[in-house]
Structure 1
């Protein structure tokens, strides 16, 4: 109930000085519920969300002019008791009413300054409060609105408003991060706890709650790494540990976790080695020993002594060392990842080149000659992808040829021709657009391909290289001897590869002038690797998609060509060989024996590569 010096309380009073517009503070609320007689309210103005403004409207107080001295005493008493703004009996509404009657009332102005100082102190204490932060920030926001009404131009008040808004945003990010952690959304790939805690720290670098959140996220990633290691999946363990190492700089917990994981790896490898050696001592133990080796290779780092010992013993016991024909595997990389998937090509022999009467053949494909491989080799199942090549570029800080040169050869949809275009490199597609990660990498020279092979060799401790011409044709034929990789039929089998088919249509409606009649694969340009059925040896896109670099120098015929399948290479040669048809080749260029010369610096939207490695 207001004191006797009040004539009454209405809802139409106004402050002595008009408040400046205040930016919206979503969590700010008045200390008391609005809408009751004699109490201040927060109003929201503006039709647009971007223009929404919150204001504090003080309780309206009417004072009998003869009772001003009594009103001043009541305001001072309210100030001493800490009753500052919530009702019409509090200090600030009374002083505002006094100033409304007499704007020159210096005692009322002095009282408002005292109240402002007290409110600033209250708000600062609330901002420092660690417990019940949301409630404290809501109260601080309410105080900020009151201060902006009575002192809109005061820099301390403006600073308080900014502090409140920043703190509210930091609390919101921390709460979202904690919710993400409880839901298992650590956010190592974005949009999770890590992002939220980092956003909070960007607002407040000393925010202890956000730092604790990052530590908890790091612990979650370490737990995933250790669980993966205990399950025998050390590649995944390495990935999680690498993600954990990015959370905080120089965190000692990472080194401790690495030692624990490596201890599990070492013990697992020692057990597999001993079991494999015992298997080899039994008459039928070769298969079991190979299984132990395969398990060890999946988890071992390059150069591991336990794996090296077991592999060496098995190589003495079988023609394929530690492998078998058709086996699929990938080598571990030093960074915890895996190399390209490889398959073991069976050893054997074949007739290489074109026969004397083969339609469409050239003298460069003759004479046909017998080649034999005394030992199998491993070949990549698909062409090297953009993602594979990107890992090399980043790790080796490489600058491939097209990147340095600034252009490459692409297909121009407007003219229907292949043209040189600036700004195209290994990250580009056949038409110069951005290539997808699972597309075969193109616009690479043969030297770029060899640099990738050298890097992969260093990463894995294995010998990777470009295939020889003989290895490529042998793997392309996969045991067949016809004119085309699929035999002598002039039409490719359905889903057998990305070739020029009469049913293929370009984005602007073009058709091939020289194509396999009645065939269509749905692509104009390169397709993602592995989009079509593999050949009999499990290899994809050997005769289509992209032509591929091989290790040999160009020779105009096969006279004096090696018979053991090694690359026919002359140091310093610039003319190199590409093999296998591509998405824009004529049908006769899709034959199994087709070969073509290319300058070693050539980069094009029709040429990629794959690798082999010894076993």
Structure 2
């Protein structure tokens, strides 16, 4: 027994010291020798050393029971009261005792020999129990390690525990097949996490999908190593979000091409996900809102007197960011085009201006801007040299024409407001139609209140018996009353409005006028006494002999009535025998103090040749008669 005690005392605790450990005091727990920090999680798996276990002859059975209890509770390696450190200590102590016994010299003492044999059997039994327990503990340990590996998606720090378990398993049985397989699984997970960490660092540095050491290749490599790895999938989602944010920032800076490029990059990150589609909808909504804002700002600028350039700037920005054919861009472009040519009006718009003394001015129609060839072609039948040479006239801005000739009531209002006496009143007569002779004759007392026969006219009849000066004075009065520029049209403006887009001989084309198109000399017209025209449009009748009430016939393509018929009209130009030195634009050709003025447009008593679009007539400016009236234009 003494020898056994000596062997026990020499074979256990010194063995622990040789292993680099010290005995723990009774009841004291030794701390684990390995702690895997977060920084070490991606480093080479560290070594593990078992905590020192205090082993004596007297506590072997107690330690076996303690180890079995710890194994049952799942406390496998953490301290000197855990299963694996105890089993290792028991196994090592038993093996050392057996080696010491094998080196003892035989003795004659039978009692001593028997004691030695008993000790050897006890050590062997202890070693076997320790080994069996150690194998069970190793199996449980690897199960804990696999559980840690499986929980990494929910708890990334579980890799540290899996690595620690791997270190313990390697220390216990490095060459065992289950340990080797487990270590391979841990190594694979380490490589996955290394790829994830590299991807996260690249993502934090803004290297997402291009350039050296970009994030996406790292995350994709992690998924190649471990399909459906949560951390890698999260990295892909974060990369996608970063690209989407870049796209949104580009959109916030109104760079929608860059934004779309960013979304295209984001769409390549993950498949089967609608995040990019939603982002594209958000950016599209931002774009639509910005486009709408620019359109509204541009339209608002057009309402200001000096806002045209500002509106064009808004349009340029809108065109830069808008898709091709965007309705808002088209609308603003059209509004700017309209403002350029028509101010606050639209072509074809009908309006009236308020008069300072109450009421409204004449109805005006906005004539569209454009171009035409003024004058008669060399081969035009019935034309004269005074209508040549032709010249191209362009109107860069629209113009408002009176919808009809000025009426008797409108001109009377002017006379009553101003007290002016028209030429016919001052002179005491005008030229009127005589039904008995069928001629135009001097009629005493005829004035602008009268009709073509010298009798009082209805209010809606075109005013006649007015001179060119009378007409110009009425336009000046309108300007004073409305605050806008009213005047007589120039000869070029009148012909442009009369033609209304036609370059034919007559405004309607060739031949007889269409039914209801105007008050012309027609073969079917009959005077009150039964007279008929000797030179007229065959087969045409308009139901009138003399002027008709304004707007009795169909308007032309510009919305103007009676431009080619009813009564001829004064224009602003002085008479010139031809157009050789005429202005190249639409301005009136005026010589100060000229006596001869120009009359344009056919009348109720004009021959077919005088109804041509290019026809013009020289008339003394102080002439008043039953065939000539006027209309005004207003600058816009």
TM-score, length-scaled by structure 2 = 0.49
Alignment pair present for 1:283 and 2:280? no
Partner of 1:588: 609
Cα 1:418–1:612, aligned 2, differ >3 Å: closer, same or farther? same
Equivalent residues of 1:505, 1:524 under 8 A apart: yes
Aligned pair 1:568/2:579, yes or no?
no
Matched, 1:347 2:369: yes
The structure whose residues are more often helix, as a share, is 2
Q: Which of 346, 351, 356 is the matching residue for 1:324?
A: 346
Alpha-carbon shift at residue 410 of structure 1 (Å): 0.6
Write the distance in 2 (CA, Å) between the matches of 1:536 and 1:338.
25
Which residue among 458, 478, 492 is the counterpart of 1:456? 478
C-alpha spacing 1:281/1:494, structure 2 compared with 1 (3 Å): same
Q: Kindly provide the CA deviation profile for residues 452-474 of structure 1, in whole angstroms up to 9, marking residues without a partner as x.
A: 00000000000000000000000
Partner of 1:508: 529
Per-residue deviation, 1:282: 3.7
Paired position in structure 1 for 2:495: 473
Paired residue for 2:393? Answer: 371
1:73-472 pair list within 5 angstroms: 282-285=293-296, 310=304, 313=307, 317=336, 318-319=339-340, 320-472=342-494
Residue ranges of structure 1 left out of the alignment (5+ in a row): 1-278, 294-308
How far apart are 1:285 and its partner, in Å?
Answer: 3.3
Q: CA deviation at 1:310?
A: 4.2
Deviations 1:449-494 (A, max 9, x none): 000000000000000000000000000000011000111x210001
Question: 1:311–1:321: 8 Å Cα contact kept in structure 2?
Answer: no
1:284 Cα offset (Å): 3.0
Say which of 477, 501, 515 aligns to 1:494.
515
* Contact persistence 1:408–1:424 (CA under 8 A): yes
In the alignment, the residues of structure 2 paired with residue 577 and residue 522 of structure 1 have an alpha-carbon distance, to the nearest angstrom, of 28
Q: CA deviation at 1:328?
A: 1.0
1:285 match: secondary structure: helix
Distance (whole Å) between structure 1 residues aligned to residue 480 and residue 300 of structure 2: 27
Q: What secondary structure is seen at the aligned counterpart in 2 of 1:453?
A: helix
CA contact (8 A) 1:353 1:369 kept: yes
Which string of whole-angstrom CA distances, capped at 9 and with x for unpartnered residues, describes residues 312-370 of structure 1? 54697421211111111111100221111111111111000000010000000011111
Structure of greater Rg: 2
Shift of the 371–280 alpha-carbon distance from structure 1 to 2, 3 Å rule, reads farther
CA distance in 2, matches of 1:392, 1:435: 17
Structure 2 Cα separation of the partners of residues 288 and 504 of structure 1: 52
The 1-side partners of 2:522 and 2:354 are apart by: 39
From the superposition, tell whether residues 458 and 280 of structure 1 become closer, same or farther in structure 2 (CA, over 3 Å): farther
Partner of 1:537: 558
| 1:235 equivalent in structure 2 | none
**Residues 286 and 314, structure 1, Cα contact 8 Å, conserved in 2:** no
Inter-CA distance 280–337: structure 2 relative to 1 (3 Å threshold): farther
Contact 1:289 1:314 survives alignment (8 Å): no
Query: Equivalent residues in 2 for 1:14-53 (5 A)?
Result: none
Find runs of 4+ consecutive structure 1 residues off by over 4 angstroms.
Answer: 286-290, 309-312, 314-317
2:544 is the counterpart of 1:523: yes
Alignment TM-score, normalising by the size of structure 1: 0.50
User: What stretches of structure 2 of length at least 5 have no aligned partner?
Assistant: 1-289, 312-335
